Amino acid sequence: MRLGIAKNGTLALALLAASATIALAADDTSKKLHLGVGNADSEYWQEMIWGATQVMKSVGGDVQVIVNDFDPQKSIQNMSAIVAAGCEGCIFTWFPDSGSITNVLTERVTGVHGYITTIWNRPEASHPWDTSKDNWVANISFDGVFAGYENGMALCRALNGKGNIVVLKGVVDNAPAIQRSLGLQNALKECPGMKVLDEQVGSWQQGPAQEITRTWLVKYGDQINGIFGMNDAMGLGAVAALREVGKAGKIPVTGTDGSSDVVELIKKGEMLSTVKGLNQEQGAVAAAITYGVRIGDIKLADLTEAQRDFNIKQELVTKENADAILAAKPDPADYTYEKIKADLWGKSDGQIAPGMN
């Protein structure tokens, strides 16, 4: 497996010989998937990259991983560098670091007659079938409302329906942050005795979340009964701050992503819950559908709207199912292009609902 990671937006692309035919060039660009990610450090991203890589490896291709560090401008610059280098018919799976840049990215790909599947973020009014419709293959996400609600209700149960919580939020205009906030609000309506004491933006990162939690512990002290982390990294930051004052395991903390280190902490009692998506499937399906459209196996005109803008399944992880989650290991044989293509929407949790971006 060859995973290239480019952090400065300069990607070395193989130049075709002058005598190569247009058809040969098309074949070459179909075999390299340009995969833009928020970072390559967290287990979520690693699992998603793994799924995409297995698919491309099965067709004799590879993956070029481009790390954008949740920076929208860096994301645009990296995409622009790829297409400027000469990239007719290239294929992309890309995380738009903000929904505000999704259309810019899809337009860049359309300009080189390439194909792109986005993950997580798109503008509410833009869809693959009405924006760059012949080149924007699909948008694949997870239902953040589900994640926010399930973690919120887990906190409610842990607090016996009454207490103060603080909220570590993701990047404000990211679809998952918006959705997880909506899910938490739904939980608060069902659990009126649970109140939000404060909320701050931790930008999906462990370090900022740890600093924010330190400040809260000084400011609010024993008023804090629970911590709602919108992802695992921020949940880990909260736990690190709690350890510093001897409160780890005494204040329940949530996360989302289902990383194994967090599941271990759930078993240990230092975290309460997380929501785990089928991360490998997200990467594999995104790669397979983009590659399939590129080579003509899949016709965009034959796909429904629900097949071009959908969520992947996920589940709440608590002490009750932590062991089963940790024991589950993906089999590479299940992640070939042919296997994934045969049941592209088998792990779909349905079309993304209006108002969720």
Residue-wise pLDDT for 179-230, tens only, equals: 999 999 999 999 999 999 999 999 999 999 999 999 999 999 999 999 999 9
Instruction: Give dist(CA 187, CA 157) in Å, integer.
Output: 11
Write the DSSP symbol of residue 273.
Answer: B
Residue 179 has what pLDDT?
93
User: In the chain, what percentage of residues exceed pLDDT 70?
Assistant: 92
Read off the pLDDT of each residue in 90-105 and give the average, rounded to a whole number.
96
pLDDT at residue 18 is higher than 80: no
Residue 299 has what pLDDT?
97
The CA R_g of the chain, rounded to the nearest whole Å, is 21
Instruction: Let me know the angle formed at the C-alpha of 101 by 99 and 107, rounded to the nearest 5 degrees.
Output: 125
Confidence band for 330, pLDDT divided at 50, 70 and 90: very high
Question: What class, spelled out in words, does domain 3-142+278-312+333-351 have in CATH?
Answer: alpha beta
Residue 2 has what pLDDT?
32
- Domain borders along the chain are 3-142+278-312+333-351, 144-277
Confidence band for 109, pLDDT divided at 50, 70 and 90: very high
Confidence band for 16, pLDDT divided at 50, 70 and 90: very low
Q: Do domains 3-142+278-312+333-351 and 144-277 have the same CATH topology?
A: yes
Instruction: Give dist(CA 96, CA 210) in Å, integer.
Output: 25
Instruction: Give dist(CA 188, CA 194) in Å, integer.
Output: 6
Homologous superfamily (CATH) of 144-277 is: Response regulator (3.40.50.2300)
